[in-house]
């Protein structure tokens, strides 16, 4: 496994396993499978409802806790200092761990400044090794970076071949915030896996479109957390460190960028109403 060093000196695997939309019933088995084929970074969230499955796998996997990198996220309904503080303790309990490697604010809504203060406090107490954000567009990321005590280490945003976040990436670099991708396959939208560019380049290296997509992001200095419930796909997704794309390959994939979400925009009032409405 290859690693990035975050702005606080913590090492984070460049490729991890995400458990978004993995059912609570399947989660333990999936995480155990992922760890067995070599994953050491596991990404979950309070909103996914499967932190306990991740915790069970951590307990049973046989890999020393210090060799694992566990990420979770504080949901909108737990925003604000007091609620976030309590939710961090609940996540620690569910994950069956004394510390979380990376804790993110899941969405840039509600009292996320209060949430961040609770995270900074937990960081100072050694309960969290690194703190950051998710779904923060450049305007909100810049605002946060200027008014917090501890700089965020990571920003996890939708990033894939069709939404490459090039401008946001430059802002993250400026503020030394590591860019991390959610949805590196766009959940199969836009005929992702049959895309001719990804498949034609992949054929040169005997790799799939999925592997090409992950390799492209890795070479773009983006951390990735692909998800699959199938062990053979988990193995395929982690097998992306034995080849390197040429600059011509990279340019061809960069040309796929449509510069818009395959899902929803956080600037869209309807999206904001939908997300904030989930807490009522």
183 backbone φψ class: left, alpha, beta (φ>0; ψ -120 to 50): left
The active-site residue, picked from 17, 39, 48, 112, is 48
Annotated binding-site residue numbers: 106
As annotated, the binding site for substrate includes 106
Phi, psi of 39 (to 5 degrees): -70, 140
Mean pLDDT over 76-90 rounds to 97
Tens digit of each residue's pLDDT (9 = 90 or more) over 140-177: 999 999 999 999 999 999 999 999 999 999 999 999 99
Instruction: Please tell me the predicted confidence (pLDDT) of residue 278.
Output: 81
% of the chain residues with pLDDT over 90: 95
113-131 average pLDDT score:
98
Encoded tokens for 177: 């915030």
Q: Residue 275 is inside which H or E element, if any?
A: helix 269-277
Q: How far is residue 255 from each of residues 1, 18, 167, 222, measured CA to CA in Å?
A: 29, 27, 15, 17
Evaluate if residue 264 carries a pLDDT over 90. Answer: no
pLDDT attached to residue 280: 60
Over residues 97-108, the mean pLDDT reads: 98
Write down all domains in the chain, each with its CATH number in brackets: 3-277 (3.20.20.100)
**Rounded Cα–Cα distance for residues 181 and 157 (Å):** 5
Q: Is 246 helix (H, G, I), strand (E, B) or coil?
A: coil
The pLDDT of residue 228 is: 95
Read off the pLDDT band of 229 (50, 70, 90): very high
Q: What mean pLDDT, rounded, does the chain reach?
A: 97
Q: Is the pLDDT of residue 279 over 90?
A: no
Known catalytic membership, residue 137? no
β-strands 11-13, 3-5 pairing? antiparallel
């Amino acid at each position: 496994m290859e690693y990035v060093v975050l702005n606080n000196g913590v090492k984070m695997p460049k490729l991890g396993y995400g458990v978004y939309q993995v059912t609570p019933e399947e989660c333990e088995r999936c995480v155990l499978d992922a760890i067995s084929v070599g994953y050491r970074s596991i990404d979950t969230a309070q909103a996914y409802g499967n932190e306990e499955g991740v915790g069970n796998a951590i307990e049973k996997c046989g890999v020393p806790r210090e060799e694992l990198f566990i990420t979770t996220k504080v949901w909108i309904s737990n925003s604000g200092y007091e609620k976030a503080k309590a939710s961090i303790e609940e996540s620690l309990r569910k994950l069956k761990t004394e510390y979380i490697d990376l804790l993110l604010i899941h969405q840039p809504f509600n009292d996320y400044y209060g949430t961040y203060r609770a995270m900074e406090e937990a960081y100072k107490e050694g309960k969290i090794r690194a703190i950051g954000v998710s779904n923060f567009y450049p305007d909100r990321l810049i605002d946060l970076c200027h008014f917090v005590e501890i700089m965020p280490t990571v920003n996890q945003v939708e990033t894939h071949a069709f939404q490459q976040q090039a401008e946001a990436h430059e802002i993250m670099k400026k503020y030394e915030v590591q860019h991390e991708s959610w949805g590196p396959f766009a959940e199969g939208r836009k005929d992702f896996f049959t895309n001719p560019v990804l498949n034609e380049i992949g054929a040169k290296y005997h790799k799939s479109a999925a592997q090409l997509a992950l390799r492209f992001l890795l070479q773009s200095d983006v951390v990735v957390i692909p998800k699959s419930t199938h062990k053979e796909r988990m193995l395929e997704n982690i097998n992306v460190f034995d080849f390197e794309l040429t600059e011509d390959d990279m340019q061809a994939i960069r040309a796929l960028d449509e510069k818009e979400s395959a899902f929803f925009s956080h600037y869209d009032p309807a999206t904001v109403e939908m997300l904030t409405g989930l807490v009522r």
